[in-house]
Amino acid sequence: MKKPLNFAILKYFTTVDEACADDVIEALKPEYGKFRHLTPKAVLEALFTGRTNGFLEESRYEMVDGELKIYFKAPPEGRATINKYIPD
Amino acid sequence: MNSLNAIQAKERLESKFLKKGLTLAILSGMFYGLYTAFITLGMSLGVWDDWYGVNTAALSAFTITFALGALGSAVNYSISAVWGLGIAGARGKLGDFFRSLKSRPGRIMVIAALVGGPISTSAYVIGLQLAGSIIVPIAALCPAIGAILGRLLYKQKLNTRKIFGIAVCLAASFIIGLQSVAPEAPPQMMLGIAIAFIAAIGWGFEGCVAGYGTSMIDFEVGILIRQSVSGLAALFILTPLFLFIGGDGFRTLSLIGQVVTDSAAMPFFIISGFFTLYAFSLWYKGNAMCGTALGMAANGAFSFWAPFFCWIILGVIWGQDGWALSPIVWFAAILMFIGIVLIAVNPLTVFSKKKGANAK
């Protein structure tokens, strides 16, 4: 069964080394493309919230064509917590 | 190495996120105050006026003392759930509601809803009846309990400055609560205080656990779980239980029917249900975005907003006596604001930034 969008966003970080909001949107588009909340602003807010609660941490940031991209990663403890709450 | 542009853009984004979280947490406290004012108004009109006044329905003393509070709360939470259902549906989130309900974070939200809803609300009402208004400042301990639980359960950071800020907020809540303390101590005061402490622990637990849950579950989905569970549990378990103990159990359906068809009180329950939805959903989202300590301290200003909006709505607009705020309450509100700022921002950082800006 399809996971709720927020679950899928966090779960994605257990499959990659790092990702920014645009990467998450691209990866989830095939399954969640019709969800109104799959937007850069909403996804970035979910990533910041994930960071506040210890699921994610920031890995780096850079300006690309005048746009700020912040990359996040799930540290081992965060990865374990995500997998504990959101199993496959 | 990052360019100055990237550093500045990142700082702006970080600050925007923190400000949004803080704004939502403060708004949640204001909505809590509005919901308190409207439910208080609703429960003073129509059938409620009769039950708490002349009592032509001949309800038992126990029913009036305990069951009516539970009934009012149950109706309010249920209406709030209906609002939540409509809003989640309009925003295309109903699918996620059913999907989240079956998940582990969904079950955590259900537990938080039961602890914070029927259990803590009953403990608060019972404490109020046994010990009087002295329990109001006891219940206001919930932000501190939430912050401690956030540290223990989820390893959220607490430094000396944050602890000091929480203490300042608590002191302010105490000052407001003490304004309503009656001079004569009721005989069962200690038992009432002990039971009210259960409410403080329950709300601290709810804020901490549901805030953490909201970092996984969308806040509009999370609140729908909360209000549905709280509303159903209060309506079909708690209220009948209290009515049964009070000897009015056979009247459960009749009393619920009288409340929902009461044209004088019901419009205010519909309004209070709407504000309840945002009081709790923004509380959860604020806690998720800021961390439990800051989110709950900012929300904790409800101990000022509740008497404030009761004064505006019941006192100024509705013309009821006895709702005016004393100057000490305004002083406590300023103290609370200082406490929230202390938790959110390091004054030394702000000072050094300003110094840096002047140097340029």
Q: What does the alpha-carbon distance between residue A35 and residue B134 come to, in Å, rounded to a whole number?
A: 49
DSSP label at residue B249: G
pLDDT tens-digit series, residues B220-267: 999 999 999 999 999 999 899 999 999 998 898 999 999 999 999 999
- Residue A58, chain B, CB below 8 Å: the answer is no
Is the CA virtual torsion A40, B150, B164, B219 positive or negative?
positive
Res. B42: pLDDT tops 80: yes
ipTM for the whole complex? 0.91
The nearest CA of chain A is from the CA of B53 a distance in Å of 49
The nearest CA of chain B is from the CA of A3 a distance in Å of 7
Predicted TM-score of the model (pTM): 0.87
Res. B360: pLDDT tops 50: no
pLDDT tens-digit series, residues B264-282: 999 999 999 999 999 999 9
pLDDT confidence tier of residue A11, bands split at 50, 70 and 90: very high
Interface mutation vs chain A, best among B215, B284, B290, B292, most A CBs within 10 Å? B215
The residue of chain B with its CA nearest to that of A8 is: B216
Reading the block at residue A2, the tokens are: 């399809």
- The confidence score (pLDDT) of residue B352 equals 60
Contact A5 B212 (CB under 8 A): no
Contact A7 B216 (CB under 8 A): yes
pLDDT tens-digit series, residues A30-82: 999 988 889 999 999 999 999 999 999 999 999 988 889 999 999 999 999 99
The nearest CA of chain B is from the CA of A53 a distance in Å of 7
pLDDT tens-digit series, residues B286-307: 989 988 888 888 888 887 888 8
Contacts of A62 in chain B (CB under 8 A): 2, 6
Alpha helices (H) along chain B: 4-42, 46-52, 61-62, 68-90, 94-101, 104-114, 120-131, 135-139, 142-154, 160-178, 189-213, 219-233, 239-245, 252-260, 266-290, 292-299, 302-309, 327-344, 347-359
Cβ contact B212:B154 at 8 Å? yes
Q: Distance from CA of residue A9 to its chain's centroid?
A: 4
The residue of chain B with its CA nearest to that of A70 is: B10
A-B CB pairs within 8 A amount to 82
DSSP label at residue B324: P
- Residue A64, chain B, CB below 8 Å: the answer is no
Interface mutation vs chain A, best among B20, B93, B216, most A CBs within 10 Å? B216
DSSP codes of every residue in B168-209: HHHHHHHHHHHTT--SSPPTTHHHHHHHHHHHHHHHHHHHHH
Nearest to A43 by CA among A57, A22, A65: A22
Nearest to B314 by CA among B304, B305, B324: B324
